[in-house]
Amino acid sequence: MHAEGETWIHVDLERQELLLYAGREVQARWPVSTALNGPGECVDSGCTPRGEHRVRLRIGQGCPLNTVFVARRPTGEIYDESLREAFPTRDWILTRILWLTGTEHGFNRGRDCDTLRRFIYIHGCPDHEPMGVPVSHGCVRRRNHDIGQLFDRVATGTRVVIGELPQVRDD
pLDDT digits (tens, 9 = 90+) for 45-80: 999 999 999 999 999 999 999 999 999 999 999 999
C-alpha–C-alpha distance, residues 15 and 30, integer Å:
10
**Closest CA relative to residue 163, chosen from 45, 40, 46:** 40
Mean pLDDT for all residues in the chain: 95
Do residues 160 and 141 make contact, with C-beta atoms less than 8 angstroms apart? Answer: no
C-alpha–C-alpha distance, residues 48 and 66, integer Å:
23
Give pLDDT, residue 5.
82
**Closest CA relative to residue 83, chosen from 59, 63, 67:** 67
Beta strands in 107-167 (DSSP E): 121-124, 140-142, 159-162
Where the chain has pLDDT below 50, the residues are 171
Positive or negative, the Cα torsion across 157, 117, 150, 73? Answer: positive
Give whole-number Cα distances, 53 to 14, 108, 109, 111, 113, in Å: 18, 8, 9, 16, 13
Angle at 97 between CA 27 and CA 104, to 5 degrees: 75
DSSP states of 59-89 as a string?
Answer: E-TTPPTTEEEETTEEEEEE--HHHHHHSTT
Give pLDDT, residue 168.
57
Give the domains, in start order, of the chain with CATH numbers: 33-156 (2.40.440)
Give pLDDT, residue 1.
54
